[in-house]
Amino acid sequence: MNIDPGRMDQVLNALPYPLNKTKLIEMARQMGAPDQMMSALNRLPDKTFNSAQDVKGALGSFKK
């Protein structure tokens, strides 16, 4: 999966944390996140995220 890191940062940094997974996905979609990013966000664990870094850390675990 090839997600533009700049676009990822732009979307994630604009969100008002903390957010649960459902709200995170809803708000990212409203901000026009690309399909590849939405697919990755849908695979996140069902938890509350406290920052963009928290989300990126959870996404990074898929690469291992």
Contact 27, 11 (CB under 8 A): no
The 10s digit of each residue's pLDDT in 34-43 is: 999 999 999 9
- Give domain limits for the chain: 19-37+48-64
Give the model's confidence band at 2: pLDDT under 50 very low, under 70 low, under 90 confident, else very high.
Answer: confident
Contact 10, 45 (CB under 8 A): no
Task: Please list, in sequence order, all residues whose beta carbon lies within 8 angstroms of the beta carbon of residue 49, skipping any fewer than 6 positions away.
Answer: 17, 18, 19, 20, 21, 24, 55, 58
pLDDT of 1 higher than 80:
no
- Alpha helix positions (H), 14-51: 21-30, 35-42
pLDDT of 64 higher than 50:
no
Tokens representing residue 43 in the block: 């695979």
What is the reported pLDDT for 9? Answer: 94
